[in-house]
Each structure stands twice: as C-alpha cells, then as structure tokens.
Amino acid sequence: MKQPLASEIVKTYSQRGPMQQFRLNESNAFHCFRCGQSKKSKLLVTYDSDWDHLLCNGCYGQLHSIYEIKAGSQSEDEKSTELAGLLLSLYNKDQVQEAERLYQLSENRSSLLSGNALRFVATSEHLSQALESVAELDWSPATIGLCKAVETEVIERIVLPLSKRLEGAVIDEDIKEKDIDRDEQ
C-alpha cells in the first residue's frame, strides 16, 4: 500500500526483516497495530511494507531484537534460551505474577462457574470455532450464549442468595421511598 501520510519522508532506513523504518519531516499521529496504542512520532515503521500496519518505536525495538536472535548463527537451543530471556525481560515482576495468576484462573475457570453457566460458555466456544472460518456468519448465537452465562451466574450467585437473605424481611418502607416508586415515573 502506498504511504498515506501527508508528511514527507526525509530518510528511509534499511529494511530489517519484515520491518522498515522511515523518518518524516514532521510528527504524525498513528495507531500501532501491535500494542494497540495511539502514538505520535517522526519515526514510523511499516510491517511487511504495509502502511496500514504501523509500529511504534517500542514495538519495533522488541520485534527487531527477536528478529536478530532468530536470524543469528547460534544453535536452536541457544536461540531458544536467548528468546526466552528476552521475553522475560520485557515484563516486570508484577506483570509476570499477574499473568501467571490470570493463567491459573483461566485453567480453573470450570471450577469457578456454575454448571449451567459452564454449559453456556462451552457451547459459545464451540460455536465460535465453527464461526471463525466464515466471515459472513452471524456471531449472535455465540454472543447470546456468553450473555446467558453471565445472567446465570448473576442469578445463582447474587439474586438467589439475596432473596433467601431477605426472605421474611419487611421492606414496605423501602418500597414507599419516592426515589424507587415506580408509579411516579
């Protein structure tokens, strides 16, 4: 794709793997397709010569480091070790611990959901796998399944326990409260 920016390219750097960096005469706002953040810079990087796939300098540096390791002359084991070290260095200790916690939760999610909610989620995931292959298909059945899973969890974990707790409670005064009286609306 042709460069869509209004700024003039003042320097083109040599291509490194699938990436090429350009210096523009003025800063341009853009969206980094890798990290998803909005950026503004005179340095832009295209991925695979596609101006719709721009990288910020941070993502470019990370991808370039990975490319350099992969293109190196070390053995596969040495490359793997170096890549693992690089990937671990990209995140601080708190981010790694949070990622581990989220992974463990995702692995145990079936034990955290009620039986009905789990069936809705599993059905939605099964439908989504079938829907992925055809772009024109309607995703509403998979979405509805996820909505039903949330609804089931809310009812089973909040509404029913709350109704049992309020069983026999006198709430006549609360019902007469002007802010929640439905007759005035």
| SS3 state at 41 | strand
Q: pLDDT tens-digit profile of 113-126?
A: 888 888 888 888 88
- pLDDT of 185: 47
- pLDDT of 121: 86
Contact between 167 and 153 (Cβ < 8 Å) = no
Q: Would you give per-residue pLDDT tens digits along the chain (185 residues)?
A: 456 666 788 999 998 888 899 999 998 888 888 888 888 999 999 988 888 889 888 888 888 888 888 788 888 888 787 877 776 666 667 766 777 787 777 777 778 888 888 888 888 888 887 777 666 677 888 888 899 999 999 999 999 999 898 888 877 776 666 665 555 44
- Residue 92's DSSP bridge partners are none
Alpha carbon dihedral 48, 54, 57, 61, in 10-degree steps, equals: -30
Q: Where are the domains of the chain?
A: 9-67, 110-165
